[in-house]
Structure 1
Amino acid sequence: MKLHRLVLTNYRGITHRDIEFPDHGVVVVCGANEVGKTSMIEALDLLLESKDRSTKKDVKQVKPTHADVGSEVTAEISTGPYRFVYRKRFHKKCETELTILSPRREQLTGDEAHDRVLAMLGETVDTGLWHAQRVLQSSSTAAVDLSECDALSRALDLAAGDDATMSGTEPLLIERIDTEYGRYFTATGRPTGEWAAAIAQLRSADEDVARCAAAVAEVDERVRRHAALAEQQAGLADHRQGIGQRLAAAQAAASALAVLADELRQAELVATAAQGTCAASSGAQAERVRLRDDVAARTVALTDVRSQLAAAIEAEHTAREVVEIACAAAAESAVALTAAQQAVDETRRVVDALAENEQAQRLTARLDRIEAAEQQLTELNRELSQITLTGDVMADIESAAALVDRIEAQLALTAATVEFTAVVDVTLTVGEQTITLPAGERWTPVSSSPTTVELPGVVSVRIDPGVTTSGAQAKLVAAQRILADYLRQGGAADLDGARVIEHRRRDLTSNRDQLAATLAGLCEDEGVGAMRARLAALREGISPALLAAGVDAGAARAAFVAAIEGRENARAQADLHQRAVAGTNVQLTEKSTVATVLRSKLADASAELDAATGRLTVQRVLAGDEQIAEQAAADIEVQRRAASRVAELARRYAAADPAAVQAELASANAAAADLDRQQTGIGQALNDITVELGVMGNEGRKGSLDLAQIAREHAFAEHSRVSRRARAAELLRSVMARHRDTTRARYVAPFRTEIERLGRPVFGPTFEVEIDSDLRICNRTLDGRTVPYDSLSGGAKEQLGILARLAGAALVATQDAVPVVIDDALGFTDPERLTKMGVVFDTVGDHGQVIVLTCTPARYLGVQDAHVIELSA
């Protein structure tokens, strides 16, 4: 598809505009903001897609607000074998006209013309590629999706080595398969539509059959249960007589057992009372024996404590004498340590004063270096402030100068050369300039722009360089104007002057950075003010008398070290004596503690012996030792006879087996109660079942089961039929999807290769990209560093988006090519990459049309073969 001409009349704010486009190459359509550049692409879409009577919002918005007229759009387009002129008027006196110029001339109007254009475009144009090959202002940094472009897919298949001939109906086949799949499954693969209805119908039929079968089985169960209950009721009547006899015997045995249990309880009460009396008398006898033994033991313990106390008192006196000797030695060593410490303090004052003097001298030298560096840094900053040329401005100057050199070289190749040689002295007039040529002298005028050379009164010669050279001259003038602006910003007269200034600026900046680093190193730990304050403090603390005495620093340090060694020796002796004092004090404390503890134990033992003797005397006053022993023996005999009576009765009670008697009585009572309960329950159940069977007999449950089984067979047949079609559609869709994914994976490589080929002049030889199966750029690699697409800068995203579209344009076949439209892009791109992108545009422009809409034509000066169209309001 190619756009040859576009005419807009009364379209938004455009009164009339008629633009012709070359068949191939880069077309730069430039104009100010709101002049209607983007409206041209919008108008072409409305012409091709909307009817003239359309009331859509997009159509209503293009009606001019300053006049009550209809908007008109006319385009001349060629696509495949067709070339036609297509015109529409919207809003007022709507009409549509189509004139087909080739392969044979035809004329149509109205909806017939609209439908014919759609048919031709549908036959020859990949509309997905037509819309994807646009870079719009609102989405210039978004990743382009070319996966649905059939023309590009065919081109990539061929580039990947697939020689199969494409019929062009593959997307339609996939859509039909997806439509068939959608009849039976949702997007997530769950049953829907006819398939879901068949599944639900079969499930409902199965539930009906199960319900009816359960109802019939319920009737059969009721009949069987009625017969079983009747048989059980007859057997219970025969069993009742035997259970009555068993219950009477169990009740008699339980009465006899109750009498024997009462006698046993009475005997146990008597035995318990005798046991208590025996325990009391035995306890009294044991307490009397314990008191006698306690008095004897305490008498022996008191004697032992007295002997231990005498030995402890002797040891305490000895330890106290040792402590007095150690304290005297410690006092002497403390006096020696004090004298040694005074000697150390005196020598330290001398050493510290000498060290502070040395530190003050070093600090003075450091402050002098800082002052000198600050003065030099101030001078360098003053010189740098007078230079207006910055690194960015210098980069712009170099880029503009390179562009001027390239255009001048191109101009030198394309411009014609005219040389005048004077045979005699002659005067020529060139515009407003007069040139005098002596005989034999040669003169060559500049022929890159139209020039008129006149020999007054004889001949006038006009030199016209042609359109190509004029365009190059216009580009050269524009580039020179940009270079002059940058030089003016940098305060330089020409490129060499700018380079000299830049060299001087870099030298001054380097010296300034070195001085700043030196100054930062000198002031790293503290500021200048703090250093001056510290110097003043050091000078105040230095003793003039000490400096006047001329004390040698080495001798002072040696005396200081000797004093420290003497102090450490004295401290070691003092520590030794202190540890000796501490040890003797510990021993004295231990001996004193032992003596004190033994005195306390002697007092306690005497008091306890007196108390035990008093308790024994009081007990003997109440009863003698022989009397207590006789009473204990008599109580033991009474307790033995009561225990024998209890044992005899317990033996007789155990022989009667009370557990078995109670169990038999409980079992007999339970059997009688269970028999009554069974007879009542069976009678009630028989009555309920008789009533239920009467009701069920009138419901026709067997007939309902037969009908449900027939309905289930029909539902199963329908389910099987739909299941085969649904599974076939699912299998076909999965196979086609797998084939499509395999095909996409195969033709990703040629697309990536083309993008990298176009991108290496822009990004460098290490440029690589990763492409997914939808032909979207996932990440970019430069110098071995890979960055995801979403993390790139706006300029890099914009450049990659244009490269992807240009790669698609370069790959598609000639008959499938569509114009690449770039609407005011590359606004985020630096000057160097703008120049490199111009080379890419020139490369791709040979394959088809590239239409650039911009309000800044300077961005595209690097496109050497661009055809520039200027728009005016």
Structure 2
Amino acid sequence: MKLHRLILTNYRGIAHRDIEFPDHGVVVVCGDNEVGKTSMIEALDLLLESKDRSTKKEVKQVKPTHADVGSEVTAEISTGPYRFHYRKRFHKKCETELTVLAPRREQLTGDEAHDRVLAMLSETVDTALWHAQRVLQTSSTAAVDLSECDALSRALDLAAGDDAALSGTEPLLIERIDAEFGRYFTATGRPTGEWAAAIAQLRSADDDVARCAAAVAEVDDRVHRHAELAERLAGLTAHRDGIAQRLAAALAAAGALGELAGELRKAELVATAAQGTCAASSAAQTERVRLRDDVAARTVAVTEVRSKLAAAIEAEHTAREVVEMAYAATGESATAFNAASEAVDETRRVVDALAGNEQAQRLAARLERIESAEQQLAGLNRELAEITLTSDVMADIESASALVERIEAQLALTAATVEFTAATDLELTVGEQTVRLSAGQRWAPASSSPTTVELPGMVSVRIDPGATTSGAQAKLEAAQRVLAEALQQGGAADLDSARLIEQRRRALASTRDQLAATLAGLCEDEGVTQMRARLASLREAISPALVAAGVDGGAARAAFVAAVEARESARAQADLHQRAVAGANVQLTEKSTQATVLRSKLADASAELEAATRRLADQRAIAGDEQIAEQAAADIEARRQADGAVAELAQRYAAADPVAVQAELNAATAAAAELEREHTGIGQALNDISVELGVMGNEGRKGSLDAAQIAWEHAFAEHSRVSRRARSAQLLRSVMTRHRDNTRQRYVAPFRTEIERLGRPVFGPTFEVEIDSDLRICNRTLDGRTVPYESLSGGAKEQLGILARLAGAALVATEDTVPVVIDDALGFTDPDRLTKMGAVFDTVGDNGQVIVLTCTPTRYIGVQDAHVIELTA
């Protein structure tokens, strides 16, 4: 299939466009955004697939919004043996016109024309390949699927060397096999249709048989259960008399044990009362003894406290005398410390005055050095200011002098030498100068520039040294002018004097820098003004009398040190006396506190002794000590007798083994209750089973089981019949699928080889790809590194997608080719790969049409033989 011409009229925003395409090669259709490039592909699809009266959304959307007119699409196409001119108008006055130009001329209109075009395309064009060979903006990085392209499959079969003769009915056979498979299985292999119904019918029959068999088994179970229950009921009736005798014996034993327990409880009550009485009398006796002991102990305590109080009062008097003596010593030491402090202050004033005088002398000497350095620095700055020769000017002089020397040496080598020898006395005119020569005298003028030598009235000679020497002379004069200007700027007559001036300038600058550093060191911490102010302040603080007295600094400092030591000794003595006063006060406070506490304790102890004596007297008034002792002894004897009676009854009760008696009573009662409960339950169960058997006998369960078994046999036969057909269809489909996959694997190799051949100029000699059975690119390998297709960059995906389509176009037979359409792709590709992709387009364009739609034609500048069509709005 080839597209020769495409005409659009009133299509979207396109008023009219007529484009002719070459029969083969790369066609680059370029234009701005929204000029209608993608609309051309859309228009061709509408022309070939939609009727002129179609109301589909795709058709409605192409109608112009600015005018009430119909959209027209016209194309001239060749496919197989056919070449035709096809036109449609949509929306308004719908028309369809077809003119077949070859192999024989035909003209059709309306639906006949539409059906005829579809028939020609169906006969000659692989529509799956036509749609797959497009790279659109919306899916430029998606992997292309070429598995349904019959034309490519045939080409790959031939490329793979498959010489098996094809009948042409293979797709129909596979479709029939798939249809037969679809009667029994879904696309995922699950049963459906007849096979699912047969399985469901057999499963339902199995359920019915199981249900009816369970119903019959239920009747048999009820009969066996009735017999077992009747036998158990007879056994329980025989066992009832033994259980009744055991329960009567257990009740008698429990009654006797209850009487014995009552006697034991009464004895325990008597013993408890005796124990309480005994405890009360013993407590009264203990309290009487405690009161006697308490009175005696408190009498001893009062005596001890009185003795301690007398000693504490004596110690308090002694501590008060010590405090008074410590205060007197503290006053004396404070007076000595004050006198020593005054002596220290006096000696400090003398030492500080002497130190200020020494500091003033050092500061005055420092100021004199600073003033001297400032005067020297000012003089150096004046000398340096008078020198106009700087380091830059000196560098210019040295450079200009070296240049003059080089040019003079060059002139000495290239200048012509002319020598005149006078035969007699004569005068020569050289320019504006006159040269006199005596007989035999020789004269050689410089000949680096054009010179005229004239013998007046006789001859005139012009000496021209040539262009090279003249140019060198001009350079020399220019260099000499530069040197003279530099010398003048530096204030020097020649190079030697300039060097002397430069040497003098450097020496002065070095001395100036040293003086500046010295001055900065002298003024490092403060300025001259601050130092002078500080000197004046120091001189004002110095006592003229002290200076006139000529006090020795060493003697003054020694006196100051001695005064400080005396003051510290007095301070230590005063501190010692202060601590002694503090200690004496602490002792006085402690002794006073002890005396006060003992006085309080004596008062408390005397009051407590008086109260204890009063309580003992009150108790004795009620009962004497002997009476309380006798009552306590009698109560102890009564308690002993009651405890003996309780012990005897407890021994008898324990010997009767109350636990065993109660356990036997509980067991006999439980056995009787369990026997009665079981007897009642079995009787009720027998009655229920009899009723159920009566109902089941009227349901006809055996007949239902027989009918269910017959239905199961019919369902099983139908299941077996359908199963054989379903399994056969499944086996046939799996065999055909396996053979089809094997065939695809054979033609994957030529497709991969073609992609790698086209891709190596782009990606390099190590480029490899892996192709699956659906002819999709799975991964790419470069330099031994394999990357899945989905993990590649957008640019690499675009490039591989275009290579896959170009490989398909190169492999299909000439009669099966379709145009490869690339809509504004390679936007993610770098400039280097764009150039390499252009070379790939050139190699494929010879076999068919490659139509590139782009708004950036420079992307495809690497396509050497491209035919460029520019679109305008």
Question: How would you bin the TM-score normalised by the shorter chain?
Answer: 0.5 to 0.7
The one of 799, 802, 812 equivalent to 1:803 is: 799
The one of 108, 116, 120 equivalent to 1:117 is: 120
Change in Cα spacing, 1:67 to 1:650, as seen in structure 2 (3 Å) is closer
Alignment of 1:293-304 (within 5 A): none
Change in Cα spacing, 1:863 to 1:643, as seen in structure 2 (3 Å) is same
Amino acid at match of 1:643: D
Partner of 2:21: 21
Partner of 1:546: 530
- 8 Å contact 1:30–1:853 — kept in the other structure? yes
Change in Cα spacing, 1:835 to 1:236, as seen in structure 2 (3 Å) is closer
Change in Cα spacing, 1:268 to 1:751, as seen in structure 2 (3 Å) is farther
Partner of 2:842: 845
- 8 Å contact 1:156–1:811 — kept in the other structure? no
Partner of 2:231: 231
SS of 1:847's equivalent in the other structure is helix
> How big is the shift at 1:861?
5.6
- 8 Å contact 1:781–1:787 — kept in the other structure? no
Amino acid at match of 1:548: R
Change in Cα spacing, 1:146 to 1:836, as seen in structure 2 (3 Å) is closer
- 8 Å contact 2:28–2:852 — kept in the other structure? yes
Amino acid at match of 2:265: R
> How big is the shift at 1:640?
0.9
Q: CA RMSD in A?
A: 6.5
> How big is the shift at 1:151?
6.2
Alignment of 1:90-105 (within 5 A): 90-91=89-90, 92=93, 94-95=95-96, 97=98, 99=100, 101=102
Q: Deviations over 1:77-133 (max 9, x none)?
A: 455x5553252535556546473747x999885465234234235548624522xx2
Q: Distance in 2 between matches of 1:197 and 1:319?
A: 126
Q: Distance in 2 between matches of 1:43 and 1:209?
A: 67
SS of 2:844's equivalent in the other structure is coil
- 8 Å contact 1:10–1:70 — kept in the other structure? yes
Show structure 2 runs of 5+ residues with no match. 361-524, 536-560
Amino acid at match of 1:811: A
Q: Distance in 2 between matches of 1:214 and 1:647?
A: 72
Q: Deviations over 1:685-729 (max 9, x none)?
A: 222221111110111222333444454566567667658579869
Amino acid at match of 1:804: L
Amino acid at match of 2:821: V
Q: Deviations over 1:766-799 (max 9, x none)?
A: 99999997957999999x9x9998997xxxx4x5
Amino acid at match of 1:277: T
Partner of 2:144: 146
Q: Deviations over 1:239-284 (max 9, x none)?
A: 3434444444343333333332222221111111001111222233
Q: Distance in 2 between matches of 1:17 and 1:295?
A: 140
Which is further off, 26-35 or 591-600? 591-600
Change in Cα spacing, 1:649 to 1:15, as seen in structure 2 (3 Å) is closer
Change in Cα spacing, 1:860 to 1:261, as seen in structure 2 (3 Å) is closer
SS of 1:852's equivalent in the other structure is strand
- 8 Å contact 2:181–2:730 — kept in the other structure? no
Change in Cα spacing, 1:851 to 1:772, as seen in structure 2 (3 Å) is same
Identity of aligned residues (%): 50
Q: Distance in 1 between matches of 2:602 and 2:648?
A: 54
Q: Distance in 2 between matches of 1:175 and 1:583?
A: 127
Q: Distance in 2 between matches of 1:752 and 1:54?
A: 40
Amino acid at match of 2:800: A
> How big is the shift at 1:67?
8.4
Alignment of 1:427-576 (within 5 A): 546-549=530-533
Q: Deviations over 1:192-212 (max 9, x none)?
A: 666665665555444434433
Q: Distance in 2 between matches of 1:67 and 1:588?
A: 123
SS of 2:19's equivalent in the other structure is strand
Amino acid at match of 1:264: L
> How big is the shift at 1:156?
14
> How big is the shift at 1:677?
3.6
Q: Deviations over 1:382-420 (max 9, x none)?
A: xxxxxxxxxxxxxxxxxxxxxxxxxxxxxxxxxxxxxxx
Q: Deviations over 1:819-841 (max 9, x none)?
A: 33343557x679xx569735633
- 8 Å contact 2:305–2:601 — kept in the other structure? no
The normalised TM-score by structure 1 is 0.56
Partner of 2:254: 254
The normalised TM-score by structure 2 is 0.56
Change in Cα spacing, 1:847 to 1:766, as seen in structure 2 (3 Å) is closer
> How big is the shift at 1:547?
4.0
- 8 Å contact 2:70–2:94 — kept in the other structure? yes
Partner of 1:644: 644
Partner of 2:681: 681
Partner of 2:46: 46
> How big is the shift at 1:4?
2.7
SS of 1:869's equivalent in the other structure is strand
> How big is the shift at 1:25?
3.0
Q: Distance in 2 between matches of 1:601 and 1:229?
A: 101
Amino acid at match of 1:256: A
> How big is the shift at 1:42?
1.2
Change in Cα spacing, 1:73 to 1:597, as seen in structure 2 (3 Å) is farther
Q: Distance in 2 between matches of 1:778 and 1:321?
A: 113
Q: Distance in 2 between matches of 1:316 and 1:818?
A: 132
Q: Distance in 2 between matches of 1:857 and 1:736?
A: 46
- 8 Å contact 1:98–1:113 — kept in the other structure? no
- 8 Å contact 2:752–2:771 — kept in the other structure? no
> How big is the shift at 1:667?
4.0
Q: Distance in 2 between matches of 1:593 and 1:544?
A: 69
SS of 2:4's equivalent in the other structure is strand
Partner of 1:87: 86
- 8 Å contact 1:212–1:705 — kept in the other structure? yes
Q: Distance in 2 between matches of 1:613 and 1:243?
A: 81
Amino acid at match of 1:99: V
- 8 Å contact 1:285–1:629 — kept in the other structure? yes
In the alignment of these two chains, the number of paired residues is: 635
Q: Deviations over 1:537-583 (max 9, x none)?
A: xxxx99996343478xxxxxxxxxxxxxx9xx99x9999x9999999
The one of 619, 622, 638 equivalent to 1:622 is: 619
Partner of 1:267: 267
Amino acid at match of 2:136: V
Partner of 2:132: 129
Q: Distance in 2 between matches of 1:579 and 1:22?
A: 127
Partner of 1:393: none
- 8 Å contact 1:33–1:855 — kept in the other structure? yes
> How big is the shift at 1:635?
1.3
Q: Distance in 2 between matches of 1:184 and 1:240?
A: 70
- 8 Å contact 1:9–1:73 — kept in the other structure? yes
- 8 Å contact 1:129–1:149 — kept in the other structure? no
Q: Distance in 1 between matches of 2:130 and 2:96?
A: 25
- 8 Å contact 1:822–1:853 — kept in the other structure? yes
Change in Cα spacing, 1:189 to 1:112, as seen in structure 2 (3 Å) is closer
SS of 1:144's equivalent in the other structure is coil
- 8 Å contact 1:770–1:778 — kept in the other structure? yes
SS of 2:868's equivalent in the other structure is strand
SS of 2:23's equivalent in the other structure is coil
Q: Distance in 1 between matches of 2:306 and 2:751?
A: 108
Q: Distance in 2 between matches of 1:183 and 1:586?
A: 121
- 8 Å contact 2:84–2:101 — kept in the other structure? yes
Change in Cα spacing, 1:261 to 1:124, as seen in structure 2 (3 Å) is closer
